[in-house]
Structure 1
């Protein structure tokens, strides 16, 4: 299944919104900042609506795999670079395998 550029753009947008929600909820959990929680509450329905839109173009298995894999990789990167968390070598290997899996999903 070849995925066109427009669909990839929406997949990345959707994943980015979920990663932002993850980061904001982590910020709220660490600081108690109510604005972070309010932002998540406003952004989450839009994120799920975007996910539903992608499902009109791709089947659920591919949509879920792509979006969730990008969210996992993105959340790990946000944790590493924004929250200064440390990843083990096995966790880095998991990220590499996730990127490989996205590539394999894209191939026919």
Structure 2
């Protein structure tokens, strides 16, 4: 990729694409882009995605996203209240071990 290690530069491409990379990082990435066609191509794709997202946000008719409803507690499918190990979330194998109660391994 342009004869250099692009890894450090590629991390900042998304932020650069939306114009939020600042200072010396932006300057260094800009200098890298002048000599790295693959990174320029990726930046062009990222800018396209950023523009698409911005356009879809503007077209969202200004309505607020739906708010989640109240959390509903799931029923127990006709079973009675949980007690013992199962009430604490432990299964019998956790409570007694894989070998069962009173068995040696």
Q: TM-score, normalised by structure 1?
A: 0.29
The structure where helix makes up a greater share of residues is 1
Q: TM-score, normalised by structure 2?
A: 0.30
